[in-house]
Amino acid sequence: MIAEAQFNRATLDCMTALRRQLKRTLGVTIRLGDPDAVESMIGLSRDSSSAEIRELGTRLADMIRPGQDDQAQSPLAQGAIASRQFRHRQENRARLEAESEHAEAPSGSVRIYRGQVIRS
């Protein structure tokens, strides 16, 4: 299963190219919506005699490899919307920390609704 953070346009392009090559050479039809589609494509590419299919499979495996902590921390590799959401989360976190430091004794209850602090 591919994580949402690892799924981007480059990953999708590689998956579709590999899928087409597998269908053309091996006659195997893999649906991209299947939960094990990525693992199936990588497995079939390792066993293939075609160098192009093996190269596409290796590239896809490298793209979805877990443990890329530097990309998870940096919003630069993400799209524009994800980058703005990351910045918005950071600003909210800083604002909430500042409010909690300056707050004296909490009166009533505090809850979070859709990212906003609601005090009652």
The whole-number pLDDT of residue 71 equals 47
Residue, of 39 and 117, whose pLDDT is higher = 39
Cα(first)–Cα(last) distance of the chain, in Å?
Answer: 42
The whole-number pLDDT of residue 70 equals 44
Helix, strand, or coil (residue 2): coil
pLDDT tens-place string over residues 41-100: 999 999 888 889 899 999 988 888 765 444 445 555 556 666 666 666 777 777 777 776
111: left (phi over 0), alpha (psi -120 to 50) or beta: beta
pTM score of the predicted model: 0.52
The whole-number pLDDT of residue 97 equals 75
